[in-house]
Amino acid sequence: MTAPPQLLAYFGHHKCASTWVHNIVGTLCDDAGWRCAYLANEGMFEGDLPGWLAAHPTEFLCYVNADMTQLEPLRGSYRGFHMVRDPRDILASAYFSHKHSHQTGAWPELVQHRARLQQLDAHEGLMLELDFNADVFAEMERWDFEQPDVLELKMERFTTDPLNQWLAVFRHLGMADEGHYGKRQAAAFLWKSCLNVAHRHAHLPTRRQLASLPMERCLGVVHDHRFETKTGGRGEGTEDVKSHYRKGVAGDWVNHFSAEHVAEFKRRYNGLLLKLGYEQDADWGLPGGRA
C-alpha cells in the first residue's frame, strides 16, 4: 500500500467551480485508491477539522467553503491548491443558483432564501445576495495567501485554460507521473484502478493504493469534465439560468449589476475586490459609465 506523503487538498469557496473540481478530484481518487473527503461546512466536521481528519483517514480533502480559522491547527500538514473568483461574479452566479438550481438538502437556510428570491425581481434579488453571501466573502478575506505549500489560482484562468491550469495543479501536488507508460505499465495501472473503483463503489477488499497516477489519465479526466460535457453540448457563453453550469464565462456581473449594486458592493466589499486583484482602482464602475 502506498499513498501521498502528506494530505492533499483543494480549498474553494461558494460558486468557485467546486462541483467541477470535486468531480475531477473524486474520479482520480477512485482510480488511485485514495479516500477523498468532501466537506462543505463546519457542521459536517462539528467545528473540529483536525479531530475529524484524525477519526476519518483521508488522502485528499476537498474543503469547498474553506475557512482559515479551521485550518490554522493543520498548517504544515497539507499540500494543496486554492481557488478564488471575482466576488462580483460570485454574486451574479449565486443569485441564479440560489433561485433555481442549488441543492437544498444540506443547506436548510437556502430553502427560505430561495422562497424570498422567487418573490423579488432581479434587482432586489441581487441586493439580497449581498447580505446572504457575507460569510463567503468573510472567509475569502481571512484566507492566508502566503502559504508556501498552497498554489493560488483564479477561477477565470482555470476555466479558460483548464488543461494547463490542471497540469500546474497536478505537478504542484506531485500526484501525477509524467513518465512514459508503455502497454505493460498502462495495463497494470488499468487493473489496479479497476480494483480501486470496485473497492470504492462495491465495498470489495480490493484496494491497491497508488503513489501517483499517469499524467495522461489525469488530463484525460479533465477533458472528460469539460463544460460542453457537463451541459449536454451547450457551449460556454450560452446561458441556461436553471442549470448549475449556467453560462461558464467570466465578467458576467456587468450584465446584471446596476449602479446601485455597484455602490453597495463597493461600500461593503471593495477591499476584498482590490485585495484579490480584480480591480486596481477603488473607483471602478460599470463599463461606459452605464447606470
* pLDDT of the residue at 10: 98
Instruction: Give a yes or no: residue 287 inside a domain.
Output: no
* pLDDT of the residue at 5: 73
Average pLDDT value for residue range 114-139: 94
The length of the chain, given as a count of residues: 291
Q: Look up cell 451547450; give the residue.
A: 234
Instruction: Give a yes or no: residue 290 inside a domain.
Output: no
Nearest CA to 173 out of 33, 6, 2, 21 is that of 6
* pLDDT of the residue at 290: 56
Instruction: Give a yes or no: residue 59 inside a domain.
Output: yes
Low-confidence winner among 8-12, 65-69, 172-176, 204-208 (lowest mean pLDDT): 204-208
Nearest CA to 181 out of 206, 218, 208 is that of 218
In the predicted structure, residue 249 carries a pLDDT above the cut 80: no
Low-confidence winner among 62-66, 115-119, 236-240 (lowest mean pLDDT): 236-240
Q: What is the DSSP letter of 209?
A: -
Instruction: Give a yes or no: residue 266 inside a domain.
Output: yes
Average pLDDT value for residue range 240-265: 77
Domain of 35: which CATH number?
3.40.50.300
Instruction: Give a yes or no: residue 289 inside a domain.
Output: no
pTM, entire model: 0.90
Enumerate the β-bridge partners of residue 154: 84
Average pLDDT value for residue range 122-149: 96
**Total domain count for the chain?**
1
Instruction: Give a yes or no: residue 2 inside a domain.
Output: no
Instruction: Give a yes or no: residue 118 inside a domain.
Output: yes
**pLDDT tens-digit map of 9-24:** 999 999 999 999 999 9
Instruction: Give a yes or no: residue 16 inside a domain.
Output: yes
- Cα angle 80, 81, 84; round to 5: 150
Confidence of residue 233 (pLDDT cuts 50, 70, 90): very low
3-state per-residue secondary structure call for 235-249: CCCCCCCCCCCCCCC
Containing domain of residue 244, as a range? 7-279
Neighbours of 231 (CB within 10 A): 18
